Amino acid sequence: MDISSDSALCNQIKDVIEFIRPRFLAHGGDLSFVRFEEGVVYVQLAGACIGCPSSRSSIKNMIEAELRREIPQVERVEAVE
C-alpha cells in the first residue's frame, strides 16, 4: 500500500470514528484515532470510558463492528493508553 492510499484509508477510519464518537460523548467518555498498522486500528478512550467495565465490549461490539463493516482492510481494533 502506498502512502497516498494509506492516508486515504486513515481518513476513512477517522470518518467512521467521528460517526461513532457522539455515542461515547453522550456518556461522558471520548474516543480518538491513534494509528492504523497491519490491519489493526488503535484508538484511545478518554473520560468516563477509562476503567469502565463496558469499554472492552464497546470496542468490539461498536467500534470494531462498524469499522469492519465499512472498511474491509480493518481486522481488529485495540485500545491504547
Cβ atoms < 10 Å from Cβ of 33? 18
Whole-prediction pTM value? Answer: 0.86
Domain count for the chain: 1
Write down the pLDDT at residue 81: 83
Residue reference for cell 481494533: 77
C-alpha distances out from residue 61 to 7, 27, 53, 54, 57, Å:
26, 16, 14, 10, 6
Cell of 12: 476513512
φ, ψ at 35 (rounded to 5°): -170, 170
pLDDT in tens, 9-55: 999 999 999 999 999 999 899 999 999 999 999 999 998 888 888 88
Domain that holds residue 63: 3-80
Per-residue model confidence (pLDDT) at position 55? 84
> Rounded to the nearest 5°, which phi and psi values hold at 59?
-60, -50
Can you give the CATH number for the domain in which 35 is found? 3.30.300.130
pLDDT of amino acid 5: 52
